[in-house]
Amino acid sequence: MCSVTRFVGLDYHQESVQVCVLDAQGQKLANRSVENRWPAIAAVVHDTVDEPQATVIVRAAIESCSGAAHLAEELLERAGWVVTLAHPGIVNRMRQNPDKSDKGDAYILADLMRLGYLPRVWLAPDEIRQLRALVRFRQQKVKEQTRVKLRLRALLREHRQRPPEGVRAWTRAWLDWLKALDLDATSMFLRDEYLSELEQLQQKIRQLELRLIKQTEGDAVVAKLLTIEGIGPITAVTMRAEIARFDRFDSGKQLSRYCGVTPRNASSGQRQADAGLVQAGNSGLRIVLVQAAQRLMNFSPHWNAFAVRLKKKGKPHNVVVAAVANRWLRRLYHEMQPSQLIAG
């Protein structure tokens, strides 16, 4: 019995998938659009094999996008394929043809897979994808809460209203003062609407946080993160959702770059300079890591001393915080390996 290898590129769409099939020599055997169902996709590859008794080894590539991970998991588990998610941004830069079509996109994916040049994205398991969906939904609600607070601030600025001396914003006393303000009818209506919306959002966020904590009960990674002083449940759950497994990275530097807290080099010739943080990673993850770094600077003598040394060199506060997050993640990479979790 012989074996046959097929390299498949899948250009994903909600209703259909463009399927391109190449053999080991790069000859195009099929390139057509089929219904977005794994049996229909598998049938295209099956039709390219002339020997019915041959063992077919399928290596497929699909660009990472909404819905692609679910299809990849189906092909992996039900069709027995080797499926790789491709980084869409890098694949787009690797295209040499200025024209763009579904057939061309599927062919490029198949050929990159065949040549071993495919820029890969990690395929997260279903439980991690579910956790990410909840974490990102909470982040959306937090952003909505921030927008409502900004509208309330704008309303107060418009009427040149200032709280009493010593009353901090968003405390109970501040909210009572805001509710008692005598404004025009329209402004009071808007104030009450904003406050009602703010209360609903805060309640929704609390419910989501309770659900996230319950969903990660007994999770070894979250439990380990919670043992670190300054790391709370939301930071730990967010890291679990977005990073998932620390051992999928080759080094702490790679992990830090994935999280978007690595400085971007902008050096040329004799000029040595940084250009801020790398434009990578999930923005919600980067936010909680920066907040965690600020807490570490307060709670941990080690990171406080590191921050003080950088400030003495004239580094701005935001640069210092990013440097703490960067170094902390690199150290954390070694502490969060599976052997350390078991030992803990």
Mean residue pLDDT across the chain: 90
Tell me which of 121, 143, 165 is where a domain ends: 121
Q: What is the pLDDT of residues 201-237, one digit of tens each?
A: 999 999 999 999 999 999 999 999 999 888 999 999 9
In 3D space, the residue among 131, 138, 291 whose CA is nearest the CA of residue 201 turns out to be 138
Strands 3-12 and 55-63: parallel
Q: How many structural domains are present in the chain? A: 3
Q: 3-state DSSP: the chain helix, strand, coil percent, rounded to 5?
A: 55, 15, 30
Task: Quote the Cα angle for 86-131-326, to 5°.
Answer: 70
- Give the structural domain span for 37: 3-121
Confidence of residue 272 (pLDDT cuts 50, 70, 90): low
The two counts, helices (H) then strands (E), for the chain are: 14, 8
Instruction: Kindly state whether residues 241 and 331 are assigned to the same domain.
Output: yes
Tell me which of 86, 121, 156 is where a domain ends: 121
**Calpha distance 30→45 (Å, rounded):** 8
**Calpha distance 324→304 (Å, rounded):** 9
pLDDT at 172 over 60: yes
Whether 237 and 131 have beta carbons less than 8 Å apart is answered as yes
Whether 198 and 149 have beta carbons less than 8 Å apart is answered as yes
Lowest mean pLDDT among 15-24, 49-58, 112-121, 189-198: 49-58
Q: Residue 121: which residues within 8 A CB-CB, separation 6 or more?
A: 64, 85, 86, 87
* CATH number of the domain to which 67 belongs: 3.30.420.40
Whether 26 and 114 have beta carbons less than 8 Å apart is answered as yes
Instruction: Kindly state whether residues 184 and 227 are assigned to the same domain.
Output: no
Instruction: Kindly state whether residues 245 and 336 are assigned to the same domain.
Output: yes
